[in-house]
Amino acid sequence: MYKKKIIPGGKNLISDVDGILVGNAEDDQLQTGLTYIKFEKKFSASAYVYGGATASREIDLLQPERTIRYIDGISLSGGSVFGLSAGSEYVDILSEESRGFKIKNSNISIPIVPCASIYDLNTKNNKSINGELYRYLAKSAYKNANKHFILGNTGAGIGAKAGIFKGGLGSASISIDNDYTIGAITIVNSLGSPFVDNTGILYSGLYEMNGEMGDNINSNYKNFAKYSFNYKIKNNTKLKSDLTSKENTTISVIATNIELNKLDLYKIAKMCTSGLSRAIQPVGTPMDGDIIFVVSSNEKKLNINEYNITQIGSLASDTLTRAVGRAVFSAIQ
């Protein structure tokens, strides 16, 4: 697939993929928000549901056997099912712009905006959270979408937790031979932990590029000298305090400019579960609502075969691992 070099993209964000903008909006007092992945051109899409407790909308349309190939944006939000209301606002905005699936022999457009939400409700904010809040935030996120955005405690990640630690929004990208691009964005609100117990070492630190996680391994390697795995130690996860919690989700989007059909996108989405499992322990549990979207602008042609799909999926997985690490690193700074 590639001959020369793989380096982080210019911004090291999913927006390094041409045609993608990201908008964030949040309510600081309620500690909830949303993140909108805005498309400036056509993107084909698929998705894989990894967790057992999802809050989502329009996911079934993205399965390989379904008719719809292209989508018009992706909504990632807090608020569990209430946050899915943001999708309705995006649909209304896009409809006014005549964006969406064109109905034959008519001037009707049907915008397709898949949605996924994390659970960030708590005893302090749940009485004030409703669908109207997220429709309001959606307008702001849509308007401020651009190529540059901050990581950590922002957008849909403002109220997130990763195990017992602060979670948040993370993103990363790679450039392959200055031609192909793969980017990832994720909202980390996991049951599992992103850290090796009692070490300060991020599981994703092994994939760090150019100090993007604060040189995590080198900064904490001495703490690893006496480490010994123990099945009884789960201090950093939510398992120790609550064995019944279903208030966890890591929702992610992978984007590329490589031309891929819907089945290929689905295969890559499945492969990217390994990107999560390398960064969070445990992940994809019955108490998580993990979803991975994969989208493509189809601008760069490549001979697609089993070998190249494997290469793309592997690189996408690595990029998602890095995005998770950057989310946590940025959130706890």
pLDDT one-digit tens code per residue, 4-31: 789 999 999 999 999 999 999 999 999 9
Cis, peptide link before residue 114, omega less than 30° from 0: no
Residue 11 CB coordination number (10 Å)? 15
- Flag whether 1 is in a domain: no
98 within some domain: yes
Is residue 301 one of the residues assigned to a domain?
A: yes
* Cβ partners under 8 Å of residue 139, min gap 6: 89, 93
- Report which of residues 260 and 247 the model is more confident about: 260
What CA–CA distance (Å, rounded) separates 302 from 162?
A: 37
Q: How many helices (H) and strands (E) would you count in the chain?
A: 6, 14
CA distance 209 to 195: 18
- Which residues form the domain of 122? 6-223+231-332
Phi-psi region of 283 (alpha: psi -120 to 50; beta: other; left: phi over 0): beta
Question: DSSP letter string over 60-101?
Answer: GGGSTTSS--EEEEEEEESSGGGGGGHHHHHHHHHHHTT-SE
Domain count across the chain: 1
Tokens matching residue 190 = 């996991």
- Tokens 């992610």, residue located: 252
Q: Is residue 153 part of a domain?
A: yes
C-alpha 312/C-alpha 306 separation (Å) is: 10
Residue 287, domain CATH = 3.60.70.12
- For 98-145, the pLDDT digits (tens) are 898 888 888 888 999 999 999 998 877 778 889 999 999 999 999 999
Q: What percent of the chain has pLDDT over 70?
A: 94
Output the CA–CA distances (angstroms, integers) from residue 189 to 1, 62, 186, in the order listed: 34, 23, 10
67 within a domain of the structure (yes/no): yes
In a domain, 47, yes or no: yes
* In-domain check, residue 151: yes
Digit-coded pLDDT (tens) for 178-219: 999 999 999 999 988 999 988 899 999 999 999 999 999 999
| 132 within domain boundaries | yes
